[in-house]
Structure 1
């Protein structure tokens, strides 16, 4: 298995997954150029997976289909994705050649967001980031927390393939929330070194996110204490605490 993040726009990643022969797929091509370059470099494209409808994740699909009009495009049940050839939801299987993925519905960032899990890889779009999570543009805190809980329950060695290079910025906020977390401190240093070397900070692993990512640690005493302090009150339950943490991140400036 060969897994590559193809940089797009300012901080997006289009994911390419292929075998040793180059046969594979791409995930969330917001623009066509990086995919066309990958094909020129040997990728034998057999299909496209889409996690949600935002333009920076689907905008390149028409340009790719101009070259290969018969490519399968597997997407969530959302009419805002006009290029889909197959729509999938919770419990469905997405198959492109020999690549097979379980589909998980993970609303929160958008109401129709899905993730693809298989081959020890999780394509999670803008729901789970390294050391962070997506903004709640359409969903509710309850939905997003439930989505993150379900992703967190996947095997720890799963590679987290998210849609953006946000790790360094997310680390700054995470350390504000969970400053004494030694695993987080190490991850923050590692992420800065990776970026200075011109490397991607992802994929991370779910095991790493579980011990470092404050949005997956909403039940941890240090995180809950920090959120309560920021809110100026003891929050009623984990959903309220998560909602406050997300609002805190929305207004955070390093």
Structure 2
């Protein structure tokens, strides 16, 4: 039995805590701070941290890795193309790994960083995606290292996953992203409904995650670059005829950076 909870960190990060309730072992994704994980383990002294999964090298995702590894001897998995503290297993695109009895496929998704990876558990009934800072709820990560073409390709790979895939990104950016999505598609009823729902959730102190691929396909402008109305807004923003989907994406990303 798998249970997934979010451990808040910093201002808006989430450390995903995967719990194997049968064997009382757990794994964490992108622990930028060791303290929330150590606090959880202190409250659950009969549980063991077995694995640490890292998507990319930014400090708010790896800052707690060395301390957690030293404290628990958990196995550290991370992208082969980046320098990850205490990493023991370097992962490349297409690798398959087993964590707490669950198989995950590694998907290389450059853009936010050049070596960024995502972890995909392809359970037919309940597929799961841990995508770091590549795909956000109603948005995507900034292009710190990669190109718009790379990021568009990465997002296209994730968008092709089954519609009911649970999307576990690592920041509470949803409302901000939805405000931008609404500016891009002011007449999209799914975006309007999502704004209302997430606004209510946040007012109640609830988190806005996980999402699903289906919901992102309806409300995330960065996955909707083939829509005529989205292209028209992108063209309006940079005063160009953005002829390719990646060019539409580049215009949207530039707009969002200044939004």
The answer to whether 1:63 aligns with 2:70 is: no
Across the aligned residues of Structure 1 and Structure 2, the Cα RMSD in angstroms comes to: 1.1
Aligned residue in 2 for 1:99? 102
SS in 2 for 1:10: coil
Instruction: Flag the 1:225–1:60 CA change in 2: closer, same or farther, 3 A.
Output: same
Structure 1: unaligned runs, 5 residues or longer: none
SS in 2 for 1:53: coil
Give yes or no for contact 1:53–1:78 (8 Å, CA) kept in 2.
no
* Separation of aligned partners in 2, 1:101 and 1:24: 15
Aligned residue in 1 for 2:12? 11
Aligned residue in 2 for 1:154? 161
> Runs of at least 4 residues of structure 1 off by over 3 A?
none
Aligned residue in 2 for 1:23? 25
Selected match of 1:82 from 82, 85, 96: 85
What per-residue deviation string (whole Å, max 9, x for no partner) do you get for residues 181-205 of structure 1?
A: 1111111111111111111101011
Selected match of 1:183 from 190, 197, 203: 190
Residue 100 of structure 1 deviates from its aligned partner by 1.6
Give yes or no for contact 1:178–1:222 (8 Å, CA) kept in 2.
yes
Aligned residue in 2 for 1:236? 243
Aligned residue in 2 for 1:133? 140
Aligned residue in 2 for 1:206? 213
Structure 2: unaligned runs, 5 residues or longer: none
* Separation of aligned partners in 2, 1:201 and 1:79: 29
SS in 2 for 1:228: helix
